[in-house]
Structure 1
Amino acid sequence: MPEGDVVLRTARRLTLALAEGELVRSELRWPTLAGNDLTGLRSLGTVSYGKNLLTRFSDGRTLHTHLRMDGTWRVTATPAEVDDRAGHGDIGVRRSAGGRPRDRRERGRYGRGPRTYDPAAAGSDVRAVLATASWTCTGHQLGMMHLLRTHDESRLLAPLGPDVLGDTYDADVEAAIGEAIHAQGAREIGAVLLDQGVLAGLGTIYMAETLFRHKVSPWRAAADVPDPAAMSATARRLMLGSADAPTGPNTRGSIAMVTYGRSGEPCVRCTTPIRDGRVGEPPYDRIAYYCPRCQLR
């Protein structure tokens, strides 16, 4: 499942892609959202909260999407051949270079520049299409979608803990996270860091990488973890570094990935082979990578 760093980069990309002009195309392929048309509205930007995406519109509504395990948002150029100035009820025809008319219904089939629209986007994995005259954003295999009033966002996010990448993260938030972690008592710290109700945004990658840097076993009791507030600060630093990386989010082999996915490879500190195990209670247990020497239980 994409973690907070990937979701933040996605939010930034959607914000830029939908920044100019009204939507000229809108499709929400979700059972509870059938009939909702956002065409003609302007995007006010997309923000992330943990693993959630909130795309706000000029009519006071927000489209909430969640990538879950396999979801992605793809951004491609909207074809220049289509006359997007046509009214909502019109087709808007413009002649192609070869003289054949192309209408608004064909917009998703063509691209321009080095990136072209994927013809497979018309398939059953597409859950949302939002397009301006310049860019088309297509949500594939999205795991969750809601349309709500923007002022109700806080109600939607209420079950979640503080966003580790949030703009409001400060010393007070950091201290509160530390207290919330300690309050989990005997619960395994690896499972606590994955609990979105305690701290929103982390997944198995940054759980492993954060615990390694603090030399804490994923199975250590949360109440026994020294300075859990500093642990949240480490997670934030690693994830922001990934979100801001010009080459894309951290992948295996980058400086941040020193434990995740490296079972059997030598620890970068002590050369002991990295191991993996399960943390948390079934069926919600997840994989945890660790060094058995640096991160003693």
Structure 2
Amino acid sequence: MPEGDTVLQTAARLHQALAGRALTRSDLRVPRFATADLTGRTVLDVTARGKHLLTRVEGGLTLHSHLRMDGAWRVFAPDEPWRGGPGHQIRAVLANAEHTAVGYRLPVLELLRTSEESRAVGHLGPDPLGPDWDPGLALDRLLAAPERPVGDALLDQRNLTGIGNVYKCELCFLARVTPWLPVGALPDGVLTRLITLTERLLHANRDRPARTTTIASDLRAPPSPAPDAAAPGRPRARPPVRVQERLFVYGRARRPCLRCGTPIRSADQDGRPTYWCPGCQSGPTR
């Protein structure tokens, strides 16, 4: 699923292509809004709110969309062929004289009053990439359920919005705890550090074409010495790790940890593949 940084990039592309221009074509291919016509209205802005996209048009209307797992918005020049999937997967077309934005496989697409946007996004927690970011509020919401596993709590968009499964795994690795450790069992200061890292990582990746989290930790220092198997009890220092991976643990099952060399493990957590390093992260596991 696209996470907050990816959705922000999508919003920026749509805003650049549509904002300030009148629509010459409007085609919403969902039954409930199939007869709605926005042609002639000027797009005011396109904004990301966590994983949600809000396209505001004059007349007090907002087109709300969510990409979930497979959705995508593509922007094309007027004479450019549409490439994003077969025609039956198109859910929305918004065009002006210079650009055409096509929404493919959008699982959520609704037209609502701009004054009623809270119906779609009012439940969301503070957004690390938004003007409403409030780390104190995010901390309070996470602490409200101390028995909840930290991985689940990070994915709950009511606590803070924009975090998906990739960031969940990477944040837990950077905090050196497993995703199954209850929020209330986190060592002192770790939850605050997690919230700080969340903002740092999302901002670091907001303009990157390929997400990376290995920028968030200093891997230039050699890891702790490990016992030499050929000479028990005698420490053997490993050489410094060279970062050649974009992610620490996500998608790296059975590959060596970039920090300690232990094979990365994976297991299911509420239907999502979850990755962690048994050597670096403490806490319960599946």
**TM-score bin (small chain):** 0.7 to 0.9
Query: In structure 2, which of residues 267, 272, 275 is the aligned counterpart of residue 289 of structure 1?
Result: 275
Q: Structure 1 unaligned runs (5+)?
A: 79-110
- Could you tell me which residue of structure 2 aligns to residue 188 of structure 1? 149
RMSD of equivalent CA atoms: 1.9
Query: In structure 2, which of residues 98, 112, 117 is the aligned counterpart of residue 134 of structure 1?
Result: 98
- Residue 230 of structure 1 deviates from its aligned partner by 2.5
- Could you tell me which residue of structure 1 aligns to residue 225 of structure 2? none
Distance 1:119 1:74 in 2: 8
Matched positions, count: 252
Cα deviations by residue, 1:139-172 (Å, 9 ceiling, x for unpaired)? 0000101111111112321222222321221xxx
Distance 2:195 2:212 in 1: 21
Query: Amino acid of the residue matched to residue 289 of structure 1?
Result: Y
- Residue 192 of structure 1 deviates from its aligned partner by 0.9
Query: Amino acid of the residue matched to residue 195 of structure 1?
Result: D
Distance 1:34 1:205 in 2: 35
- Could you tell me which residue of structure 2 aligns to residue 239 of structure 1? 202
TM-score by length of 2: 0.83
Instruction: Kindly indicate whether the alpha-carbon contact (under 8 Å) linking 1:238 and 1:256 is maintained by their aligned counterparts in 2.
Output: no
SS in 2 for 1:124: helix
Query: In structure 2, which of residues 117, 122, 126 is the aligned counterpart of residue 162 of structure 1?
Result: 126
Distance 1:122 1:266 in 2: 40
User: Aligned in 2, Cα 1:197/1:272: closer, same or farther, shift over 3 Å?
Assistant: same
Instruction: Kindly indicate whether the alpha-carbon contact (under 8 Å) linking 1:259 and 1:267 is maintained by their aligned counterparts in 2.
Output: yes
Query: Amino acid of the residue matched to residue 198 of structure 1?
Result: N
Query: In structure 1, which of residues 138, 146, 153 is the aligned counterpart of residue 110 of structure 2?
Result: 146
Instruction: Kindly indicate whether the alpha-carbon contact (under 8 Å) linking 2:20 and 2:44 is maintained by their aligned counterparts in 1.
Output: no
Cα deviations by residue, 1:41-90 (Å, 9 ceiling, x for unpaired)? 11111111111000000111100001111000000101xxxxxxxxxxxx
Query: In structure 1, which of residues 270, 274, 287 is the aligned counterpart of residue 264 of structure 2?
Result: 274
Query: Amino acid of the residue matched to residue 166 of structure 1?
Result: G
Q: Structure 2 unaligned runs (5+)?
A: 214-242
The yes-or-no answer on 1:221 pairing with 2:182 is yes
- Could you tell me which residue of structure 1 aligns to residue 34 of structure 2? 34
Instruction: Kindly indicate whether the alpha-carbon contact (under 8 Å) linking 1:182 and 1:225 is maintained by their aligned counterparts in 2.
Output: no
Query: Amino acid of the residue matched to residue 144 of structure 1?
Result: V
Q: Report which structure shows greater RCO (CA 8 Å, sep ≥6).
A: 1
Query: Amino acid of the residue matched to residue 183 of structure 2?
Result: A
Instruction: Kindly indicate whether the alpha-carbon contact (under 8 Å) linking 1:51 and 1:200 is maintained by their aligned counterparts in 2.
Output: yes
Distance 2:21 2:164 in 1: 35
- Residue 254 of structure 1 deviates from its aligned partner by 7.3
- Could you tell me which residue of structure 1 aligns to residue 228 of structure 2? none
Distance 1:225 1:179 in 2: 14
SS in 1 for 2:136: helix
User: Aligned in 2, Cα 1:155/1:20: closer, same or farther, shift over 3 Å?
Assistant: closer
State the percentage of identical aligned residues: 42
Instruction: Kindly indicate whether the alpha-carbon contact (under 8 Å) linking 2:30 and 2:109 is maintained by their aligned counterparts in 1.
Output: yes
Query: Amino acid of the residue matched to residue 269 of structure 1?
Result: R
Distance 1:55 1:31 in 2: 19
Matches within 5 A, 1:47-196: 47-78=47-78, 111=79, 116-118=80-82, 123-169=87-133, 173-196=134-157
**Runs of 4+ off more than 4 Å:** 119-122, 251-256
- Residue 204 of structure 1 deviates from its aligned partner by 0.7
Distance 1:240 1:59 in 2: 33
Distance 1:262 1:122 in 2: 32
Instruction: Kindly indicate whether the alpha-carbon contact (under 8 Å) linking 2:126 and 2:132 is maintained by their aligned counterparts in 1.
Output: no
- Residue 118 of structure 1 deviates from its aligned partner by 2.1
Distance 1:292 1:121 in 2: 40
- Residue 251 of structure 1 deviates from its aligned partner by 6.2
Cα deviations by residue, 1:81-116 (Å, 9 ceiling, x for unpaired)? xxxxxxxxxxxxxxxxxxxxxxxxxxxxxx2xxxx2
Distance 2:18 2:277 in 1: 44
